[in-house]
Amino acid sequence: MSRGDGYDQIFSLWGIQESLLQAYRSIFITAESIIISVAATIATSSPVSALMLTFLGCFQLWMWHRVCANRAKDVSFTQWLLARAEEGADVSAPLACFKRFQAGNVITINDRSVWRDIEKAMVSHVHDEQFIAMTNSPTRRWMEIYLPLLFLLLWLYFACVALNNLMPSILGFLGRLGLG
């Protein structure tokens, strides 16, 4: 079977999206590692600063999840477009198709439809099983769920260490107020 129109453009678009996803992951993992290292170092000597870093680190985890999950959907979509082109479908304007997907539109190629909002797509039956499978790869689960959860557990641990080191000061302050 011959490739459909737009295959080379889609392949290039996929490469860009995949590179962006890997770069974003690297940035977030590096930033989390640096911030958590500093928090671990100062958790006992400067617990207030460690707690502030904990809030920063947790906010960054939320950003990591939002940014990487969205980019991962983009990667899956471009893979899905490549699969359609390999099946012989013509995708003459892959960038416009990609931008419509990013905008939240339903994309249909050769009677197969996908939608960026996977949960809503499942309810409305606007989904392609191959696309859903592409979004659920084991590597993606590790990078988007398990690794951020590991960082979250580390943040909770260092927050507890910092709070434990602050407790005598808090109890002393409450005692001076007559509340302790």
- Domains of the chain: which residue ranges? 7-171
Per-residue pLDDT in tens (0 to 9) along the chain, 180 residues:
578 789 999 999 999 999 999 999 999 999 999 999 999 999 889 999 999 999 999 999 999 999 999 999 999 999 999 999 999 999 989 999 999 999 999 999 988 999 888 777 666 767 788 998 898 888 889 999 999 999 999 999 999 999 999 988 888 888 888 876
Helix, coil or strand: residue 113: strand
Full-model pTM:
0.86
Helices (H), ranges, the chain = 7-42, 47-86, 94-102, 118-124, 129-135, 138-141, 147-176
User: Which pLDDT score is estimated for 122?
Assistant: 66
